[in-house]
Amino acid sequence: MNSEPEINRSLSLKDTWDGPWPATRAVPLSFFAAPLVDDLDKLDADVAFIGVPYDQGTFARPGARYGPNGIRYVRGVYSYDSFRSEGQAEGYFDIDRQQTFLKGVTMADCGDVTIIPSDVESNFAKITHAVRKIIAKGSFPVIVGGDHSITFPAARGFDSFADLDVVHFDAHMDFSHELQGTYYHHGCPIRRCFDLPNVRNVTSIGIRKATKEIFDDAVSKGVKLITTEQFREMGPEGAVAHVPAGSNVYLTVDVDVMDPMQVPGTGSPEPGGFFYYEMRDALIALSKRVNIVGCDFVEMAPPYDHAETSTMCTAKLILDLLAELFPSKED
Ligand SMILES: [Mn+2]
């Protein structure tokens, strides 16, 4: 009697691999699967990402230190897949516009700024140093935070631009001169930027929470404020029309400008914010109006991002911005 079932004899399980692609591959954990560059002196790319895993400016809900790796983890969804060994990209096809962006544009992940606990000034000095270096190398810096306090040392790195305008997307004004006895609180960075000698205009968009004192102070100093409701009345083009055309702009995006239903993964969520298409259209409109020279995306806090929608949405917005700034190169 044959007791062995027929099905087992007919099974043929592969125990070797001879497929067209390798059995293993080392995929770097990097922004959009860009090649890693660990020496800024060797940087040679159109776009340079740098992570700042810092949330020492946060007083209530920390977690933004995990923001850079949170965005890096999204690479499987929004890498445009075809980075070759030399860092050339096949491009990103935008189905809405039926256009391929970023083809041939080179990118590099320069790693994270080395953060030492409690050594705020040296951490900030390292951020500024890294940003200056990236600019000197001719790359477009994308700084991924980190809480919003890192915007001050990042913007300070743009001192080679004689006139700089700051465009700021945020639910909050972050314009306090000091908070809790420090100038480096994440409620102060826009005021620090405003006080930089080369910063000319500050435009804050998406604001929906402020004290009267800070509101009055900012308005009296000439800061242009556009609330979320006003943005909805004006539309993206109308809102960015308040930024002087053609100026050099440092763009800072606090992801709490987004509605917390879509971006819950942030330390200071505020009801009633932007949704993805509003924010995307604002970035596109701004890119068409001014010369964006660098940007940061801050306050992603993956510990509160229960469905990873926050990092996914932010990564998509970064990609949308870069697509607008870097049209495909000719073959
Ligand atoms: Mn902020």
CA 90 to ligand 1 center in whole angstroms: 34
Q: To 5 degrees, how large is the angle CA 294–CA 300–CA 305?
A: 150
Q: What is the count of structural domains for the chain? A: 1
Domain that holds residue 122: 26-325
In this predicted structure, the answer to whether residue 8 has a pLDDT above a threshold of 80 is: no
Alpha helices in the chain (DSSP H): 6-10, 67-72, 75-78, 120-136, 151-156, 189-194, 212-220, 228-240, 276-289, 309-325
Question: Average pLDDT of 325-330?
Answer: 83
- Secondary structure of residue 202 in the 3-state scheme: strand
pLDDT of residue 84: 44
Q: How confident is the model at residue 76 (pLDDT cuts 50, 70, 90)?
A: low
Tell how far the Cα of 118 is from the centroid of ligand 1, in angstroms. Answer: 20
* pLDDT tens string 113-128: 999 999 999 999 999 9
48: nearest Cα among 164, 154, 138, 146: 138
Q: How far is the CA of 174 from the centre of ligand 1 (A)?
A: 6
CA angle, residues 253, 259, 261, in degrees to nearest 5: 130
Measured in angstroms, how far is the CA atom of residue 2 from the centroid of ligand 1? 74
Distance 263 CA to ligand 1 centre (A): 14
Distance 172 CA to ligand 1 centre (A): 6
- Ligand 1 centroid, distance to 166 Cα (angstroms): 13
Taking only the tens place, the pLDDT of each residue in 211-238 is 999 999 999 999 999 999 999 999 999 9
**Centroid of ligand 1 to alpha carbon of 26 (angstroms):** 36
pTM, to two decimals: 0.92
Is-contact 174 217, C-beta < 8 A?
Answer: no
- Within-domain flag for 8: no
Question: Does position 6 have pLDDT exceeding 90, yes or no?
Answer: no
Average pLDDT over residues 196-206: 98
Residue 122 CA to residue 171 CA, distance in Å, equals 29
* CB 131, CB 106: distance < 8 Å: no
Report d(CA 315, CA 89) in Å as an integer.
17
> Could you tell me if residue 20 is inside a domain?
no
Torsion of the alpha carbons at 189, 190, 195 and 197, rounded to the nearest 10? 100
Q: What is the CATH number of the domain that holds 152?
A: 3.40.800.10
By C-alpha distance, which of 215, 291, 208, 290 is closest to 257?
Answer: 208
Tell me how far the alpha carbon of residue 231 is from its chain's centroid. Answer: 21
143, β-bridge pairs: 50, 296
Average pLDDT over residues 234-255: 98
Cα of 106 from ligand 1 centre, angstroms: 30
* 3 Cα–ligand 1 center, Å: 71
Distance 11 CA to ligand 1 centre (A): 60
pLDDT tens digits for range 90-115 = 777 788 888 888 888 889 999 999 99
pLDDT of residue 3: 62
Whether 30 is in a domain gets the answer: yes
Which residues face 330 on adjacent strands? Answer: none
Percent helix, strand, coil in the chain, to 5, is 35, 20, 45
Report how far apart, in Å, the C-alpha atoms of 186 and of each of 82, 98, 212, 299 are: 37, 39, 19, 9
Other C-beta atoms within 10 Å of 137: how many? Answer: 18
Range of weakest confidence among 83-87, 114-118, 289-293: 83-87
Closest CA to 310 of 44, 67, 58: 67
CB count in 10 Å sphere of residue 66? 20
Q: Is residue 17 part of a domain?
A: no
Give pLDDT, residue 117: 95
- Would you state the structure tokens that stand for residue 163, as one six-digit string? 């006139």
Q: 248 and 165 in contact (C-beta within 8 Å)?
A: yes
In a domain, 218, yes or no: yes
What's the pLDDT score for residue 5? 58
Residue 205 lies in a domain: yes
Q: Tens of pLDDT along 22-64?
A: 888 777 789 988 889 999 999 999 999 999 999 999 988 999 9
- Whether residue 14 is contained in a domain is answered as no
Ligand 1 centroid–CA 173 distance in Å is 7
11 within domain boundaries: no
